[in-house]
Amino acid sequence: MTAQGVWIGIGFLGQALFSARFVIQWLASERSGRSVVPLAFWWFSLAGGATLLAYALWRGDPVFVLGQGLGLAVYLRNLALIRRSARTAAG
């Protein structure tokens, strides 16, 4: 397999991870009967976003890099807020 083929595979993997977060959120909401955003949504967002950022860097696409880079900041911040909230609740 060529390096380009590997990077295209990485791009597809990132897109699959990123898309899976919506399925996870939808299933969690259906189970609870209300709209919820489970912790797994943020982890899949982070994993998919990081993988897509790597692919965007390889492609040299500044628009794609900026979009994924800013998204990663949001996903990391949400995970930090969730962790802080869990620590506060634990006492």
Number of structural domains, the chain?
1
| pLDDT over 80 at 91, yes or no | no
35-85 tens-digit pLDDT: 999 999 999 999 999 999 999 999 999 999 999 999 999 999 999 999 999
- Predicted TM-score (pTM) of this structure: 0.88
pLDDT value of position 1: 85
- Per-residue pLDDT, averaged over 15-20, amounts to 94
What three-state secondary structure class fits 9? Answer: helix
Per the structure, the complete domain to which residue 48 belongs is given by 3-90
Q: Residues 6 or more apart from 45 whose CB is under 8 A from it?
A: 18, 21, 71, 75
